[in-house]
């Protein structure tokens, strides 16, 4: 896994924990299984930009909070992380 993708996966986990949300809760909000969500946090699954926007929305964070400024989508024209 790319180190930047792992960093995003770790930020997702930390942000979820900051909100005191369970993986089950977030998975339900995303319409996926807890197992599928767990794979996102562990970095086993690639995360689309669209999915990452939805995660940010559910967690009530800004999408940009997942990235350093030079890593924002559009700067490198990437569609998935991983």
Q: What is the CATH number of the domain that holds 13?
A: 1.10.260.40
Taking the complete model, does pTM exceed 0.95, yes or no? Answer: no
- Going by C-alpha positions, the residue among 1, 30, 5 that lies closest to residue 16 is 30
Q: What's the token pair of residue 7?
A: 């960093």
First to last CA, the chain: 6
- Summarize pLDDT for 12-70 with one digit per residue, the tens: 999 999 999 999 999 999 999 999 999 999 989 988 899 999 999 999 999 888 876 65
Q: How many domains does the chain have?
A: 1
Between 72 and 1, the more confident residue is: 1
Q: How many CB atoms lie within 10 A of CB 11?
A: 16
The residue segments making up the domain with residue 58 are 3-81
């Amino acid at each position: 896994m790319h180190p930047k993708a792992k960093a995003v996966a770790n930020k997702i986990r930390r942000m979820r924990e900051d909100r005191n949300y369970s993986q089950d809760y977030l998975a339900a909000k995303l319409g996926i299984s807890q197992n599928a969500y767990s794979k996102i946090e562990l970095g086993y699954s690639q995360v689309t930009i669209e999915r990452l926007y939805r995660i940010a929305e559910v967690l009530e964070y800004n999408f940009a909070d997942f990235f350093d400024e030079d890593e924002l989508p559009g700067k490198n024209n990437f569609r998935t992380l991983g």
